[in-house]
Structure 1
Amino acid sequence: MILLVTNKRDVTTDFVVLEMRRRGLPFIRLNTEDLPEHELVMANGDPARTTLTGPCGNLYFPEVTCAYYRRPGSFAANGQEAMAAYVVAEWSAILRSLWNALEGRWLNSPFAILRAEDKPRQLAAARRVGLTMPGTLVTNSFDAARAFLADGPMVAKPLRHALIDDGKIGSVVFTSRVAELDAVDADAVRRAPMILQREIPKRSDVRVVVIDNRVFATRILSQAHDETQVDWRRGVRLDLVHEAMELPAKLAEACIAVTLDLGLRFAAIDLVEDTDGRFWFLEANPNGQWAWIEQRTGAPVTAAIVDAFICGRAE
């Protein structure tokens, strides 16, 4: 039995569901928004002997052979605010026990994902496996940021959250070019640490999906449009050209190595290809999106993920 931990609106999980149905594989989709509607029985207080019954069906944890922690949704409880908060906290606590009980059966463990989301840790891992990366400074010091800029063109990006939630629509924090820093910017810089990196003159952006020892690379022709030159996600251009590509063998091996170094079996890695054809590591998303890559290029990512469910970690 394959367990998919996700949310009701995750289209990427829908791709996986269709592939498993095509192959006739048994699975359970657990949409975590529904958790408080389930009944849980943990025999002998042993998480490995848990049964969860409710909207997901009948989930018996000893029967789970592989689990995919995709994009779980948040959940809420009814009732007075303090009691509702207590209920949510108790369900959250039991989830940690259940996820621990599945250790060794995850495509990516939720705890490995949490650790791998640390971007400075990603840079250290990339350095260990020999990937090239832009000069980087993490700081909230205005003086340090201005000195870094004085040494060459730079971009700024967030350490963790790329969305500022104002309770309404919110806004996305894209990677942005920093042309100058004046005294009026000092307070803004000091508010929170950020990542500053040397801006690499681009030929293209490259998204690399690693699944165990398989690599799917896509060249994104971001330099064709003004708004996508620094961050290809800006503008949400539907005409942004994507091309399947073959990475140099040593680079593909390094992408697999950095994924393993981070304790992962799956990663969505962002690279930059410069104007001389050299590749630079930017970051590795341990739970990144990939469905649009398959739609644009035909890369069989879904099939590779389902293969990983069946075969376990490739040697």
Structure 2
Amino acid sequence: MHEFLSRHSSKCINHPETIVRLENKATQLRLAFQAGFTIPETLISASYERVKEFTASHKEVVIKNLRPQGGQPTGTFLFNDSLLNKENCEMSFAIYQRKIEGRYHYRIVVLGHDIYAFRYESDNVDSRLDARHAAEYVEVNDSMRHTFSEFMTLAQLEMGVFDFKESDEGEWYFLEVNQQGAFAYLDALTGFPILHTFAEFLHGRCQEKERCP
């Protein structure tokens, strides 16, 4: 599939090589930091001693793998230090992050230069699994728009679906970006015509390509 997409990359929104590169969550975090997003305190390690030290220094920690496994999306889980042991820890690298306290989560759809942010409430660590509550469309301030633009340039993305969490202090924290993440459900949750907006984005991209030599 990757070889097929690479041969027809001009028809893809994001280049297949970019998609593969950004499947690595460590790469995403590095680019997010460079662009100017705030990220949670993070440790990427397979060292038992370093993980033990990091988890002991924070009240609660979440854990996620570096990239999707077996076609499944990357999950985010509350870390249980009672399960921490040297053998399991050193089997592979993982991402450990301080849990951000707060109930407001954001799924933000970026299409070219346009940004559509949706806020919803959830007590779940992985809020992508929680669609019980209505969401609302919210505006993104100019500073954040500039940072999104910087990230998209650094990441070489034309489209991205971002997950952010707002802390109790009102700080927005970058969690991850999905190059072609789910967003269709936002139509039902918010009443905002995101599917129609996406169709117009695709139509515009097709027209641009037709004008290209």
Change (3 A) 1:107 1:173: closer
Deviation digits for residues 86-137 of structure 1 (CA, Å, limit 9, x no counterpart): xxxxxx5xx72x5344334421122221112121111111111111101111
Q: Residue 140 of structure 1 contacts residue 192 of structure 1 at CA under 8 Å; is this kept in 2?
A: yes
Tell me how far apart the structure 2 counterparts of residues 198 and 276 of structure 1 sit (CA, whole Å): 15
Q: What does residue 188 of structure 1 align with?
A: 88
1:304 aligns with 2:197: yes
Q: For 1:21-100, what aligned pairs fall within 5 Å after superposition?
A: 96=3, 98-100=4-6
Fraction of identical pairs, as percent: 25
Q: Residue 107 of structure 1 contacts residue 308 of structure 1 at CA under 8 Å; is this kept in 2?
A: no
- Which residue, 141, 145, 151 being the options, matches 2:51? 145
RMSD, aligned α-carbons: 2.4
Q: For 1:280-295, what aligned pairs fall within 5 Å after superposition?
A: 280-295=173-188
Higher relative CO (Cα under 8 Å, sequence separation at least 6) belongs to: 2
1:198 aligns with 2:59: no
Distance apart, 1:206 and its partner CA: 0.8
Which has the greater radius of gyration?
1
Paired residue secondary structure (1:291): coil
Change (3 A) 1:164 1:111: closer
Q: What does residue 107 of structure 2 align with?
A: 207
Tell me how far apart the structure 1 counterparts of residues 85 and 53 of structure 2 sit (CA, whole Å): 14
Tell me how far apart the structure 1 counterparts of residues 156 and 74 of structure 2 sit (CA, whole Å): 27
Paired residue secondary structure (2:119): strand
1:279 aligns with 2:186: no
- Which residue, 219, 222, 240 being the options, matches 2:133? 240
Change (3 A) 1:267 1:243: same
Change (3 A) 1:284 1:164: closer
Q: What does residue 18 of structure 2 align with?
A: 112
Distance apart, 1:164 and its partner CA: 9.0
Letter in structure 2 aligned against 1:196: Y
Q: For 1:156-175, what aligned pairs fall within 5 Å after superposition?
A: 156-161=63-68, 174-175=75-76
Distance apart, 1:277 and its partner CA: 1.1
Structure 1 stretches (4+) deviating beyond 4 angstroms?
162-165
Taking structure 1 as the reference length, the TM-score comes to 0.59
Distance apart, 1:209 and its partner CA: 0.6
Gapped runs of 5+ residues in structure 2? 209-213
Deviation digits for residues 220-242 of structure 1 (CA, Å, limit 9, x no counterpart): 2013xxxx2x22134xx542332
1:177 aligns with 2:78: yes
Tell me how far apart the structure 2 counterparts of residues 220 and 291 of structure 1 sit (CA, whole Å): 15
Change (3 A) 1:299 1:108: farther
Deviation digits for residues 29-66 of structure 1 (CA, Å, limit 9, x no counterpart): xxxxxxxxxxxxxxxxxxxxxxxxxxxxxxxxxxxxxx
Change (3 A) 1:122 1:173: closer
